[in-house]
């Protein structure tokens, strides 16, 4: 087996709490196995611009509890073009890199697979995104912290919603995936969870029908003297976002509806235990997987066990929100059912 001498690590796409914990674990494991490790900065931009530095155990001391990423993260437009991929490959060849570990989401893994056209070194992905939308792994690094942050925020919003007897619409992150919205909605006992998985808005009529339904639910809740009403909604679902939905509902219900976009607070902060632990296990596993001579794989956690899944499988389909969670919300908990009875 060929000895791995030097490897590189980068973080790409949206930063996620726990990325630093994965960097720390990978660096300590690399040192344990006597492998030199460097970090490229700002995602794939670092590869194109030859922007890197040596990673040492000293640098990762005190990192496990920090949000963000020591390596910085970014999107990189050039990586979508052949020239960008070639430049990145040239940097890896010039620096004599044997293996590249990328901590990121499905977009980052798509780019990593394309890099293989121009570079023959080993490539390993570590799933790091608050979206938890990657197939083949139960968890992505950052998801648990992000949903806990959102839950804490919505619990606070609930206090004001109760005090003012007001309707709140809280918009949550998640690109095109409702993992955050569904999990947070259920955990906050939201009266409505509006997400890609349970809400079809293909036509103007769909939009009008949904508005009528939600307005009916709100009015029923008011009739039942329910003191607050929280709608969680996935970003990109309603044209114009939460603010537009608030205006639309106000028009239908003649009730004040307040929009609140949680936004980037979901990406920041100290990682919770689950993210620190899963990131640490994945960081170590990435180094061990390189030593096993594997390439083109993502480190995954399935049923609490660390394993590998091919990168092409991981990006083929977006991970679906668990149908049982959708059913629980839609069929058992939703106000549409509760409103059939008087309180
Ligand atoms: P995430 O990795 O969190 O899904 P993005 O989808 O924004 O985040 O992808 C991060 C980066 O990965 C992009 O900015 C780009 O550099 C690279 N990337 C994404 N999709 C592709 C693609 N189809 N081809 C090449 N590179 C890509
Ligand atoms: O992928 C992570 C994420 O935070 C998504 O939930 C969100 O849609 C997107 O990134 C926001 O991207 P940007 O940082 O480019 O605004
Ligand atoms: Mg993504």
Top-tier CATH class for 144-267: alpha beta
Spans in the chain with pLDDT lower than 50: 337, 343
Domain boundaries, the chain: 6-142+271-314, 144-267
What is the predicted pLDDT for the residue at 1? 52
Residue 15 C-alpha to ligand 2 middle, in angstroms?
Answer: 9
Nearest ligand 1 atom to the CA of 12 is: 10
* Angle, CA 190 vertex, CA 184 and CA 255 arms, to 5°: 135
* Angle, CA 19 vertex, CA 307 and CA 311 arms, to 5°: 40
pLDDT in tens, 88-116: 999 999 999 999 999 999 999 999 999 99
**pTM, rounded to two decimals:** 0.96
Beta carbons within 8 Å of 56's beta carbon, 6+ residues apart: 27, 31
For CA atoms 323, 316, 135, 237, the dihedral sign is negative
Residue 107 C-alpha to ligand 3 middle, in angstroms?
Answer: 5
Report H helices in the chain.
19-32, 44-48, 82-94, 106-115, 143-164, 179-187, 204-223, 241-253, 273-291, 311-316, 323-327, 335-338
Nearest ligand 2 atom to the CA of 16 is: 2
Per-residue three-class SS string for 172-206 = ECCCCCCHHHHHHHHHCCCCEEECCCCCCCCCHHH
111 contacts 315 by C-beta, under 8 angstroms: no
Nearest ligand 2 atom to the CA of 174 is: 6
What is the predicted pLDDT for the residue at 246? 97
Q: Whose CA is nearest to atom 12 of ligand 2?
A: 14
Asked if 6-142+271-314 and 144-267 have one fold, the answer is yes
Cβ neighbour number for residue 174 with a 10 Å cutoff = 28
From 17, 175, 241, the mutation candidate for ligand 2 (largest count of ligand atoms within 8 A of CB) is: 175
The token pair at 63 is: 């990192």
311 close to ligand 1 (CB < 6 Angstrom): no
13 contacts 104 by C-beta, under 8 angstroms: yes
d(CA 149, CA 151): 5
Beta carbons within 8 Å of 58's beta carbon, 6+ residues apart: none
Residue 16 C-alpha to ligand 2 middle, in angstroms?
Answer: 10
Beta-bridge partners for 260: 170
48 contacts 78 by C-beta, under 8 angstroms: yes
Q: Which ligand is nearest to the CA of 241?
A: 2
What is the predicted pLDDT for the residue at 248? 96
From 108, 114, 132, 133, the mutation candidate for ligand 1 (largest count of ligand atoms within 8 A of CB) is: 108
What is the predicted pLDDT for the residue at 334? 78
Question: What is the helix (H) or strand (E) element at residue 98, kind and residue range?
Answer: none
Fold of the domain built from segment(s) 6-142+271-314: Rossmann fold (3.40.50)
């Amino acid at each position: 087996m060929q000895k791995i001498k030097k490897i590189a690590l980068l973080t790409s796409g949206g930063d996620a709490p726990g990325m630093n914990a994965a960097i720390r674990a990978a660096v300590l494991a690399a040192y344990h196995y006597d492998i030199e490790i460097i970090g490229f900065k700002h995602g794939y931009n670092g590869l194109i611009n030859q922007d890197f530095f040596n990673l040492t155990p000293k640098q990762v001391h005190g990192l496990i509890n920090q949000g963000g990423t020591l390596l910085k993260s970014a999107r990189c437009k050039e990586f979508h073009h052949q020239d960008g991929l070639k430049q990145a490959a040239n940097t890896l060849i010039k620096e004599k890199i044997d293996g590249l570990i990328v901590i990121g989401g499905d977009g980052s893994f798509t780019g990593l697979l394309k890099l293989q056209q121009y570079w023959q070194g080993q490539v390993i992905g570590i799933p790091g995104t608050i979206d938890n939308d990657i197939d083949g792994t139960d968890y992505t690094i950052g998801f648990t912290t992000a949903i806990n942050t959102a839950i804490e925020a919505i619990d606070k919003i609930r206090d004001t919603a109760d005090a003012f007897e007001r309707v709140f619409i809280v918009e949550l992150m998640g690109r095109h995936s409702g993992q955050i919205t569904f999990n947070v909605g259920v955990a906050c006992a939201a009266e409505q969870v509006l997400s890609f998985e349970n809400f079809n808005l293909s036509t103007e009529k769909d939009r009008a029908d949904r508005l009528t339904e939600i307005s009916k639910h709100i009015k029923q809740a008011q009739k039942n003297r329910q003191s607050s009403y929280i709608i969680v909604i996935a970003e990109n679902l309603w044209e114009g976002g939460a603010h537009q939905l608030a205006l639309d509902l106000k028009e239908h219900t003649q009730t004040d509806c307040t929009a609140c976009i949680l936004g980037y607070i979901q990406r920041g902060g100290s990682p919770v235990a689950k993210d620190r632990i899963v990131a640490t296990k994945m960081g170590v596993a990435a180094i061990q997987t390189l030593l096993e001579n594997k390439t083109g794989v993502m480190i995954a956690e399935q049923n609490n066990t660390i394993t590998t899944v091919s990168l092409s499988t991981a990006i083929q389909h977006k991970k679906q929100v668990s149908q049982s969670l959708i059913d629980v919300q839609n069929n058992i908990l939703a106000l549409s059912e509760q409103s059939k009875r008087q309180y």
